[in-house]
Amino acid sequence: MVSIQLSTRALLLALGVLVGLWMLFQLWQIVVIVAAAFIFMAALLPFVDWMTRHHIHRVVAVLILLLGFLLIAAGVVVLVVPPLIEETRDVKETLPEDAARMDELLSRLGIESDLEQRVSEIDWGRLASGRTAVNVGQRVIVGVLSFITIVVLTAYLLVDAPRLSRFLYQFVSPGHEPDVQRFLGSLRRVVGGYIRGQFITSIVIAVFTTGVMLALQLPNAVAFGVFAAIADIIPLVGAFLAVGPPVLVALQESPAKAVIVLIALLAYQQFEDRFLTPRVYGATLNLPPLIVLIAVLIGGELFGIAGILLALPAAAVARVLLDYYMERRTVATTVPGPRDDVLAPDQPHAGEE
């Protein structure tokens, strides 16, 4: 008969984990907002520190960064949203004709398709029904409020970063300060490096998409270049979102231009995946593709779009935690000492057998 004994400490630890998971699922929206604020803080903190070293008050430095960020966000909305609405309306009106022309082009290439038939079966009234509009409106409102909350929380974290650091060090045992410093430095490097690397790749795809559309004399090239930059932020799915709208715009001009845009953007995706991303990020993320896929799937299933966006930073943080744990474990195994296993049964007191 197998007897399993657990210590009181292990039972309390298991109970704490279960309670923590329950609270995480109950408060997941708040958790996602706070996590996003910490990620943006890690990315912007080096710039705030640089300005404070150049005799700019910390509050002023944070306000400068946030003002610039809000101006950029407002400019993106003004630049991208109206052309997207206009092109969506145009696509709806000309889609049957465009599908017929695409069928003709594919038939010349020996490819049989029934795009025109499929387009004629689309129920536009159902897609734009009142319930759908209400749901979209609610999601937009929630998204805007969440965005404002993240911005405000990020500002507080940036302003109070020194005070927050002193508060955390109060709970660090004497002599462990260098370990905590190194650990927090790794977190800032990984998360901040990811955000800055993503900014670079988004700029590159925006310039490339804009250049291709300008070369083909397609309308709203800059707007769709910016849209591609935003879509590039979304792991895995973003590549397809960045390709679709420019191809639809080109299809309204001619099927040949649509094919050229499709080939050019797909070729760029290969360039970004195989050449640009490894050199921009370097060893910042160092995550296998399978881990990236699993992280994105889990994030999307648990938290939707927000989970997809935060999947890679969260996976990178998990890697830092694992590296730190393995490093500490290696040190502990090389230095013999008393066993302190949380899953071991309570040690008997003196006189107990």
Taking residues 159-170, what's their average pLDDT? 79
Q: For position 285, what pLDDT does the model report?
A: 63
- Could you report the per-residue pLDDT of 55-108, keeping only the tens digit for each? 898 899 999 988 888 888 888 888 888 888 887 777 677 767 767 777 676 677
Q: Please state the domain count of the chain.
A: 1
Q: Is residue 257 part of a domain?
A: yes
Residue 208 has pLDDT above 90, yes or no: yes
Please check whether residue 79 is in contact with residue 223, taking contact to mean a CB–CB distance below 8 angstroms: yes
Q: For position 264, what pLDDT does the model report?
A: 92
Residue 276 has pLDDT above 50, yes or no: yes
Taking residues 287-301, what's their average pLDDT? 71
Q: For position 132, what pLDDT does the model report?
A: 60
Q: Is residue 248 part of a domain?
A: yes
Q: Is residue 108 part of a domain?
A: yes
Residue 9 has pLDDT above 60, yes or no: yes
Please check whether residue 84 is in contact with residue 227, taking contact to mean a CB–CB distance below 8 angstroms: yes
Compute the C-alpha angle 209/212/217, nearest 5°.
Answer: 120
Q: Is residue 113 part of a domain?
A: yes
Confidence grade of residue 144 (pLDDT, cut at 50, 70, 90): confident
Q: Is residue 54 part of a domain?
A: yes
Residue 315 has pLDDT above 70, yes or no: yes
Could you please report the per-residue DSSP string of 287-325? --HHHHHHHHHHHHHHHHHHHHHHHHHHHHHHHHHHHHH
- C-alpha separations of 172 from 98, 130, 167, 268 in Å: 65, 55, 10, 48
Highest mean pLDDT among 162-166, 178-182, 339-343: 162-166
Mean pLDDT over each residue of the chain, to the nearest integer: 75
Q: Is residue 172 part of a domain?
A: no
Residue tagged 């029934």 (tokens): 114
DSSP state at residue 276: I
- Find the farthest-apart pair of alpha carbons in the chain and give their distance in angstroms, rounded: 92
Q: For position 353, what pLDDT does the model report?
A: 46
Residue 340 has pLDDT above 70, yes or no: no
**Which amino acid is present at 5?**
Q
In 3D, which of 258, 266, 253 has the Cα closest to residue 208?
A: 266
Q: For position 341, what pLDDT does the model report?
A: 41
Q: Distance from first CA to last CA of the chain, Å, rounded?
A: 20
Q: Cα separation of 229 and 221, whole Å?
A: 12
pLDDT over 70 percentage in the chain: 73
In 3D, which of 248, 212, 240, 245 has the Cα closest to residue 227?
A: 245
Structural domain boundaries, residue 328: 28-122+131-165+178-333
Q: Is residue 296 part of a domain?
A: yes
Taking residues 289-315, what's their average pLDDT? 72
Q: Is residue 345 part of a domain?
A: no
Q: For position 130, what pLDDT does the model report?
A: 55
Please check whether residue 80 is in contact with residue 223, taking contact to mean a CB–CB distance below 8 angstroms: yes
